[in-house]
């Protein structure tokens, strides 16, 4: 008689290549949260500090959310984290560059640029200039005390407005998704 594997077969185990049964590990995304500026802001903003976690109806936060202090975001758990910011802009005029960026620190002190993107705002005869820029970075977070991220905004024309609002996502939003263990 030939037996398939050692251990107990069940709906919570799988047969490994070495012919032993092992428990099925939980998988999938365990943490995700979204943040936004609470209102419009003009000029350079370093870091973007006036933010709130999304609280609009039907919003779904998964797992422990990020925490933020003075615009510096702290991760709730270690892991591989996908971080994205979309910056939405408008201006009654022109602005050669409007740049959204992700900065990070490994020592809870010195921040360095990790990702950025920009857009051009150009007013037409009948409407203000609108534009979007998006930056994304994949972080390997292993130290919750020292590894943090923040978002910054730099513009040519200090009248350029980074859109925000507390009632719904309006132009600018930050998204954090934990993809896997580190």
pLDDT-above-70 percentage for the chain: 94
What pLDDT score was predicted for residue 105?
98
Q: What's the pLDDT at 66?
A: 97
Q: Residue 112's pLDDT band (boundaries 50, 70, 90)? A: very high
Task: Look at residue 2 and tell me whether its pLDDT is greater than 70.
Answer: no
Percent pLDDT > 90 in the chain is 79
* Phi/psi at 180 (5° precision): -170, 170
Q: Cβ distance 104 to 111 under 8 Å? A: yes
- Tell me: pLDDT of 94 over 60: yes
CB atoms within 10 A of CB 136: 14
Tell me what the pLDDT averaged over the chain comes to.
92
């Amino acid at each position: 008689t030939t037996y398939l594997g050692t251990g107990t077969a069940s709906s919570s185990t799988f047969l490994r290549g070495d012919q032993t049964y092992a428990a099925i590990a939980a998988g999938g995304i365990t943490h995700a949260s979204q943040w936004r500026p609470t209102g419009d802001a003009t000029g350079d903003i370093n870091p973007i500090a006036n933010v709130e976690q999304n609280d609009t109806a039907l919003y779904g936060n998964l797992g422990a959310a990020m925490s933020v202090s003075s615009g510096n975001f702290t991760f709730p758990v270690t892991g591989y984290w996908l971080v994205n910011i979309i910056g939405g802009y408008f201006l009654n005029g022109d602005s050669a560059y409007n740049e959204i960026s992700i900065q990070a620190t490994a020592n809870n002190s010195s921040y360095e640029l990790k990702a950025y993107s920009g857009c051009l705002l150009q007013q037409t005869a009948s409407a203000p200039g609108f534009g979007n820029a998006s930056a994304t970075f994949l972080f390997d977070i292993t130290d919750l005390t020292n590894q943090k991220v923040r978002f910054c905004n730099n513009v040519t024309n200090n009248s350029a407005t980074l859109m925000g609002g507390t009632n719904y996502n309006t132009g600018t939003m930050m998204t954090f998704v934990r993809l896997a263990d580190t």
